[in-house]
Amino acid sequence: MKNKVISKTDFVAKIHDGASIMIGGFMNIGTVVGIIDAILETDVKDLTIICNDAGLPGVGVGKLIDAGKVKKLIASHIGLNPIAGEKMTNGEMEVELIPQGTLAERIRAGGAGLGGFLTPTGLGTLVQEGKQVINVNGKDYLLEKPLKADFAFLLGHVVDKKGNVVYRKTTRNFNPLMATACDTVVVEARSIVEVGMLDPDQVITQHIFVDYIVEGDKL
């Protein structure tokens, strides 16, 4: 069995300038902490971050935005982080806002190998700009294309050494979807256990999706 456990420093060394990264979380719930802090200690820059929101100033994804490491942010809202709003207004950071359900479904489509999906959400609004409108049975829909990325950063509650992941309550949020839609997946585990110690019925993200495991804050 491949040893997937790696130090944060060794993992972050694999991230290159301009990388696209999906980061799980919802208002920082379910967002990795240690990996983000490790990135701040490097010179990596021009990142494209795909996540639900911009976090808060000095918290979660907000730390990467504060440090000027994010070239483009793809998210459903940034209202909790005024620094993100300032950077968008000043042209320091490109921001693509996507309705939350559409964001989740675009990630799911990327992971499922689909070419996209049709949704009425956003018709007649700014969301429609530049997108193809398809009529089905007399009703218009927007064609939304799949989202994929180079890396996914997941936060796991308990993870075995093979990479099977158990989440805790709402910390699950976007994490399982993102695990399927990225080339390289790392899970920051609050607890790492031996193979065979997890109840298979509690495993949400299976080991086949996980490339690396790093140790996070203890339970």
- Reported as a single tens digit per residue, the pLDDT across 6-50 is 999 999 999 999 999 999 999 889 999 999 999 999 999 999 999
Percent with pLDDT over 90 in the chain: 97
Query: What tokens appear for 25 in the block?
Result: 């979380």
Strand (E) or helix (H) holding 62: helix 61-66
Among residues 91, 52, 85, which one has the least CA distance to residue 66? 85
On the CB side of 49, how many CA atoms lie within 13 Å of its CA? Answer: 33
User: Are the beta carbons of 34 and 188 closer than 8 angstroms?
Assistant: yes
Domains of the chain: 18-97+148-215 (3.40.1080.10)
Which residue carries 């956003």 as its tokens? 122
Q: The pTM is what? A: 0.95
Residue 219 pLDDT > 70: no
Higher-confidence residue: 218 or 203? 203
The length of the chain is 219
On the CB side of 126, how many CA atoms lie within 13 Å of its CA? Answer: 4
Residue 1 pLDDT > 90: no
> Average pLDDT of 179-194?
98
> pLDDT averaged over the chain?
96
